[in-house]
Amino acid sequence: MHAATYVGAKTLTVIEREPELPGFGEAQIEVAYTGICGTDLHILHGDMDARVTMPAVLGHEMSGTIVAVGEGVEDWSAGDLVTVMPLVWDGTCPACRAGYNHICHNLDFLGIDSPGSMQASWTVPQDVLVALPPGLSLERGALPSLPRLQSMTCAALRCVKARRRWLSAADRSAF
């Protein structure tokens, strides 16, 4: 399958890669549309090279159709139209254990810290799936105009950035 991959030096290249089959608790999505957001542009411009492991499949504003589910997946099946909330927290760090998963010390932002949606097939944890409302097209489902989803993602990113700026070392160790 094709995947648009950031390889550094302000360069995207299309590569061939094998689709990842869903494991336990995961769903495989046939990606229909992927938007390009400001974060993707920051990566392309080289502003996040210290964080992104290259080659990197970018993208997190997307829509698609579930084509397969792994064992343990509940409430999702092939044919469901979805988008994602692209944040995966570990649930084990001090912040998560204190109920502050939005500032998880080990946050995985899909499309930045791990492969994203700029590929034909994308396998993600079932916990990040968001059903598209009935009647909403896949084309519109990829846009960040789903206000609740966008505001949750942006709020989580602001919190992650803020924790690095305003928390003292003692505060950071408590979360």
Per-residue pLDDT tens digits for 110-141: 999 999 999 999 999 999 999 999 999 999 99
166 versus 91: the higher-pLDDT residue is 91
Q: For residue 58, is pLDDT > 90? A: yes
Which of these is catalytic: 39, 83, 123, 153?
39
Instruction: Identify the pLDDT of residue 174.
Output: 41
Is-catalytic flag, 102?
no
Q: How confident is the model at residue 144 (pLDDT cuts 50, 70, 90)?
A: low
Mean pLDDT of the chain: 86
Q: What is the DSSP letter of 88?
A: E
Instruction: Identify the pLDDT of residue 154.
Output: 52
Instruction: Identify the pLDDT of residue 163.
Output: 47
Is-catalytic flag, 105?
no
Q: For residue 109, is pLDDT > 80? A: yes
Query: Mind listing the pLDDT tens digit for each residue in 152-171?
Result: 455 545 544 444 444 445 44
- Which residues have C-beta within 8 Å of that of residue 164, sequence separation ≥ 6? none
Instruction: Identify the pLDDT of residue 26.
Output: 98
Instruction: Identify the pLDDT of residue 162.
Output: 47
Name the pTM for this structure. Answer: 0.80
Q: How confident is the model at residue 143 (pLDDT cuts 50, 70, 90)?
A: confident
Q: What share of the chain is helix, strand, coil (3-state, %, to 5)?
A: 25, 30, 45
> Distance (Å, rounded) from C-alpha 23 to C-alpha 72?
9
Q: For residue 1, is pLDDT > 70? A: yes
The residue ranges of DSSP E strands in the chain, in sequence order, are: 2-8, 11-16, 26-34, 56-57, 62-69, 81-84, 87-88, 108-109, 121-125, 129-131
Instruction: Identify the pLDDT of residue 52.
Output: 93
Q: For residue 150, is pLDDT > 60? A: no
